[in-house]
Amino acid sequence: MPFFSIITVCYNEVTHIQETLDSIVSQTFHNYELIVVDGGSTDGTKEIIERYSSQITWWCSEADKGTYNAMNKGVSHTKGQYVIFMNGGDKFHDGNVLENLVKANCTADIIEGYAIAKDTKELIHQHDDDLTHKLLVDGICHQSTLIRRELLAENPYDEKYKIVADWKFWILMLLRDRCTYQFLDMTIAVIDTTGITYSQFQQNLEERDNVLAELQSDTTIGYMAKVLRDYNYLTHNTLVQHAVYLDRHSKKGYDLVRKIAKRVVKVIKIIKSEKKAYV
């Protein structure tokens, strides 16, 4: 059984797919399988993938129903202990990433490291010891995160969402089901921030709101989802948009907004705990 299952999802990535695949096949740790799901590319991507066919465990080039449909398809062909997605345009930080992950000897269900942006070389997400705050206000980068295969097999990405199905997955696994989590102080991935998650900001916000609305009926995290949804409704048109601006122009200003958001999450936790005490 391979230790890692690496899944690459792509569509018309002729200028980037070779860099992605090179970063995988050049890893010094070789006990992995590589699954490539191409959405039926017509720009030459398929031909490049074919050159690596001897190093790919399974691959296809056919139309799909979107990114998460392709990711679920990839998972269905995996056999490894941990799954990591390294999609077209993304790459491992260096050739020793998998070897260093094995040396870390982690056993958590979900293991995260750092990811940096390809263009700016800046961190995509800051490390946050408060996992609830991290998930509800920020997020987890799947290109720098290992996931036990069973979790993905039993809880496939919700394909009705185009951008935030992975965010919903993190919330369900880590907040509702309390899967174990560990953060490693190492850079795992270099990612392309021109993709849909980073370019469709308004749709991202709308889909997150829909996820929170859906989770309000959940007996475990419903109350937190409701409070956060109300908070988001009041602030998205001001605080979040200012945060995006500050993230690009003022690190100190952005850090201040993050601190404010973090305090709001702490208040939500206190309210939730007091509510339970009176039930």
- Answer whether residue 205 is part of any domain: no
pLDDT over threshold 90, residue 113: yes
Look-up of token digits 């949804």: 229
Task: Indicate if 185 and 231 belong to the same structural domain.
Answer: no
- Answer whether residue 93 is part of any domain: yes
Per-residue pLDDT tens for 7-37?
Answer: 999 999 999 999 999 999 999 999 999 999 9
Q: How confident is the model at residue 243 (pLDDT cuts 50, 70, 90)?
A: low
- Answer whether residue 144 is part of any domain: yes
Per-residue pLDDT tens for 151-167?
Answer: 999 999 999 999 999 99
- Give me the chain's average pLDDT, please: 86
pLDDT of residue 238: 55
- Which whole number is the average pLDDT over 48-70? 96
What does the alpha-carbon distance between residue 117 and residue 189 come to, in Å, rounded to a whole number?
A: 9
Higher-pLDDT residue of 129 and 255 is 129
pLDDT of residue 268: 58
Residue 266, domain extent: 216-279
- Which whole number is the average pLDDT over 96-112? 96
- Percent with pLDDT over 70 in the chain: 80
Q: The domain that contains 138 carries what CATH number?
A: 3.90.550.10
pLDDT over threshold 50, residue 192: yes
HSE (side-chain half, CA atoms, 13 Å) at 55: 16
pLDDT of residue 32: 98
- Which whole number is the average pLDDT over 46-69? 96
- Percent with pLDDT over 90 in the chain: 60
- Which whole number is the average pLDDT over 78-89? 96
Which domain-ending residue is among 196, 225, 246?
196
Number of domains in the chain: 2
pLDDT of residue 33: 98
Task: Indicate if 225 and 263 belong to the same structural domain.
Answer: yes
pLDDT over threshold 80, residue 236: no
pLDDT over threshold 50, residue 41: yes
- Answer whether residue 252 is part of any domain: yes
- Which whole number is the average pLDDT over 105-131? 89
pLDDT of residue 279: 44
- Answer whether residue 69 is part of any domain: yes
Higher-pLDDT residue of 130 and 157 is 157
State pTM to two decimals. 0.82
Task: Indicate if 183 and 242 belong to the same structural domain.
Answer: no
Task: Indicate if 16 and 143 belong to the same structural domain.
Answer: yes
pLDDT of residue 262: 67
pLDDT over threshold 90, residue 239: no
Q: How confident is the model at residue 120 (pLDDT cuts 50, 70, 90)?
A: confident
pLDDT of residue 223: 77
Task: Indicate if 105 and 27 belong to the same structural domain.
Answer: yes
